[in-house]
């Protein structure tokens, strides 16, 4: 037997139904906020992720599905969606035109991580990316939008917020931090590397010993320049205006290198240790890093598998028709009615090709949650034959001639 690869899984109903319900409703909300659907390739040049997500990140360092293709190109299955959308934005020259654009997307992402609950090697994200807005109220808007999405599904999440500063305040903060880190040689191996490549990543190391060592570390939010501080205040006040609760977490840096200023995560305490259900932030220099004209950017992505664990589908009501034949001779008419209902009436129809006894059909219809039940036997095939349409919800029955029913289709 051939099994799916480790950390990759098939999605059956009800999870697959929830997935569609989730995508449908998040798309609706994103569209209300002016976001437009974009689809970008799963496979991209490896350089794209090295230059955006960053060589110091675990994603690029350890987790990429990277290979040389038959044309000798170094390619990679996307570990996240932002880089591809930025590449597409620049490739379509939207940066040159100075356009403001808002995109949403969803699909598979790939990270070669150690699989565990809530952590897969192939997982799905729903993300949004907004280009051309320097106003911090855009950051507030996407956080409010994400909050609205979670509220729609009845999900309660804690919002963690931080500001990562800008090119004016970040370099001097980094120097301060490195000086502090130089005082110890007990950092974990990963942090020793991070100290050299991107020292702020040390702040959110999960290693307990590192966290202890960092207790007295200088904090980003105490070292913001006036502009960043002012924007961070506006962001907080806007969220408060809309009664959205949040918590400042000065150690929140996020695992991707492209952020500046706003960084945020939505966290749930109901799904185990992989508790981050969504994350995002501002990336004002990423378009430039990828060869475009400097353009502001801000966005987020939701981890769909983690989110699906947190809500149930609303109870589904009975719907559509179940049509079955009681004899072999009746199979043709049963199929004709089913197809005409589908094609001409755009109805939801479940049809059994092979004849069965009445009880088996009724059991099937009930299992499939059909509303109307029609069984065709030899009597229905006669001239002036009549069929009974049973409403399985109200138990009402309606009798019509086959001829008039077919005419109505
Ligand atoms: P991220 O924090 O790496 O951000 O991923 C976003 C979400 O994807 C996480 O909060 C988590 O729910 C989910 N996720 C990440 N890795 C896994 C995994 N191995 N298994 C299951 N779920 C996972 C980004 O990807 C950024 N591109 C977000 C962004 C968009 N920032 C700006 N725009």
On whether residue 186 sits in a domain, the answer given is no
> Domain boundary residue among 308, 332, 352?
308
CA–CA gap between residue 138 and residue 328 (Å, rounded) = 63
* C-alpha 301 to ligand 1 mean position (Å): 6
Give pLDDT tens digits for 197-252.
Answer: 889 989 988 888 998 888 899 999 999 999 999 999 999 999 999 999 999 999 99
CA–CA gap between residue 234 and residue 237 (Å, rounded) = 5
The pLDDT of residue 322 is 97
The pLDDT of residue 57 is 87
Residue 268 tokens read as 């749930």
277 and 348 share one domain: no
Three-state SS annotation for 156-212: CCEEEEEECCCCCCHHHHHHHHHHHHHCCCCCCHHHHHHHHHCHHHHHHCCCHHHHH
On whether residue 104 sits in a domain, the answer given is yes
The pLDDT of residue 293 is 97
Mean pLDDT of 15-21: 96
On whether residue 375 sits in a domain, the answer given is yes
19 and 151 share one domain: yes
283 and 337 share one domain: no
277 and 240 share one domain: yes
123 and 247 share one domain: yes
CB 321 within 8 A of CB 341: yes
CA–CA gap between residue 292 and residue 288 (Å, rounded) = 5
Could you give the percent of the chain with pLDDT greater than 90? Answer: 86
Tell me the C-alpha to C-alpha distance, in Å, between residue 163 and each of 8, 224, 227.
34, 8, 11
The pLDDT of residue 153 is 97
Mean pLDDT of 176-186: 89
Ligand 1 atom closest to 255 (CA): 3
Ligand 1 atom closest to 129 (CA): 33
**Share of the chain residues as helix, strand and coil, in percent rounded to the nearest 5:** 40, 25, 40
DSSP bridge pairs for 349: 321
Q: Which of 112, 275, 279, 281 is the pocket-test mutation for ligand 1 (most atoms within 8 Å of CB)? A: 279
Count of CB atoms situated within 10 Å of the CB of 92? 12
The pLDDT of residue 185 is 82
115 and 24 share one domain: yes
252 and 388 share one domain: no
CA–CA gap between residue 354 and residue 366 (Å, rounded) = 18
Tell whether the model's pLDDT for residue 7 goes beyond 90. Answer: yes
CA-based nearest residue to 24, from 301, 345, 266, 304: 304
Average pLDDT value over all residues in the chain: 95
The pLDDT of residue 223 is 95
The pLDDT of residue 228 is 97
On whether residue 99 sits in a domain, the answer given is yes
Give pLDDT tens digits for 322-372.
Answer: 999 999 999 999 999 999 999 999 999 999 999 999 999 999 999 999 999
Mean pLDDT of 387-397: 95
> Domain boundary residue among 249, 282, 308?
308
Mean pLDDT of 66-83: 98
CA–CA gap between residue 112 and residue 62 (Å, rounded) = 7
Q: Count how many domains the chain has.
A: 2
Q: Which of 125, 263, 307 is the pocket-test mutation for ligand 1 (most atoms within 8 Å of CB)? A: 125
Ligand 1 atom closest to 301 (CA): 28
Give pLDDT tens digits for 34-43.
Answer: 999 999 999 9
348 and 230 share one domain: no
Mean pLDDT of 92-118: 96
On whether residue 86 sits in a domain, the answer given is yes
CATH number at residue 250: 3.30.930.10
CA–CA gap between residue 214 and residue 194 (Å, rounded) = 14
Residue 244 tokens read as 């959205």
CA–CA gap between residue 116 and residue 273 (Å, rounded) = 9
Q: Which helix (H) or strand (E) holds 247?
A: strand 247-248
Tell me the C-alpha to C-alpha distance, in Å, between residue 89 and each of 82, 147, 279, 297, 369.
11, 26, 21, 11, 45
On whether residue 273 sits in a domain, the answer given is yes
**If you take atom 10 of ligand 1, which residue's CA is the nearest one?**
278
257 and 377 share one domain: no
The pLDDT of residue 34 is 98
For residue 37, the enclosing domain spans: 15-169+224-308
On whether residue 179 sits in a domain, the answer given is no
> Domain boundary residue among 280, 308, 336?
308
22 and 125 share one domain: yes
On whether residue 274 sits in a domain, the answer given is yes
Cis (ω within 30 of 0) for the bond into 375? no
> Distance from CA of residue 241 to its chain's centroid?
27
CATH number at residue 340: 3.40.50.800
pTM of the model: 0.92
CA–CA gap between residue 24 and residue 43 (Å, rounded) = 25
DSSP bridge pairs for 278: 266, 302
135 and 49 share one domain: yes
Give pLDDT tens digits for 288-318.
Answer: 999 999 999 999 999 999 999 999 999 888 9
247 and 371 share one domain: no
């Amino acid at each position: 037997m051939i099994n799916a690869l480790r950390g990759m899984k098939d999605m059956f109903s009800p999870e697959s139904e929830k997935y569609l319900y989730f995508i449908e409703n998040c798309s609706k909300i994103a569209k209300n906020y002016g976001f437009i659907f974009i689809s970008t390739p799963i496979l991209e040049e490896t350089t794209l992720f090295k230059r955006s997500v960053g060589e110091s990140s675990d994603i690029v360092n350890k987790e990429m599905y990277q290979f040389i293709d038959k044309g000798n190109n170094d390619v990679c299955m996307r570990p996240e969606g932002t880089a591809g959308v930025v590449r597409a934005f620049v490739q379509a020259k939207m940066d040159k035109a100075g356009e403001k654009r808002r995109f949403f997307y969803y699909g598979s992402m790939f990270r070669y991580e150690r699989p565990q609950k809530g952590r897969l090697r192939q997982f799905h994200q729903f993300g949004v990316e907004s280009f051309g807005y320097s106003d911090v109220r855009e950051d507030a808007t996407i956080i409010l939008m994400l909050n609205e999405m979670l509220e729609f599904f009845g999900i309660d999440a804690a919002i963690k917020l931080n500001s990562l500063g800008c090119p004016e305040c970040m370099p001097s903060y980094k120097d301060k931090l490195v000086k502090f880190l130089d005082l110890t040689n007990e950092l974990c191996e990963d942090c020793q590397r991070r100290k050299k490549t991107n020292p702020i990543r040390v702040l959110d190391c999960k290693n307990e010993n590192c966290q202890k060592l960092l207790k007295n570390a200088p904090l980003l939010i105490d070292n913001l320049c006036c502009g960043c501080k002012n924007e961070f205040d506006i962001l907080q006040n806007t969220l408060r205006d809309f009664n959205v609760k949040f918590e400042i977490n000065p150690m929140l840096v996020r695992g991707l290198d492209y952020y500046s200023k706003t960084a945020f995560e939505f966290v749930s305490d109901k799904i185990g240790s992989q508790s981050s259900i969504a994350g995002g932030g501002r990336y004002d220099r990423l378009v430039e890093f990828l060869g475009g004209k400097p353009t502001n950017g801000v966005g987020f992505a939701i981890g769909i598998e983690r989110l699906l664990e947190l809500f149930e589908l609303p109870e589904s009501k009975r719907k559509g028709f179940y049509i079955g034949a009681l004899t072999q001779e009746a199979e043709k008419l049963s199929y004709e009615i089913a197809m005409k209902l589908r094609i001409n009436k755009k109805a939801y129809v479940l049809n059994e090709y092979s004849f069965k006894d009445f009880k088996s059909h009724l059991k099937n219809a009930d299992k499939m949650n059909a509303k109307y039940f029609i069984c065709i036997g030899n009597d229905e095939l006669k001239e002036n034959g009549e069929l009974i349409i049973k409403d399985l919800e109200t138990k009402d029955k309606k009798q019509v001639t086959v001829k008039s029913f077919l005419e109505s289709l």
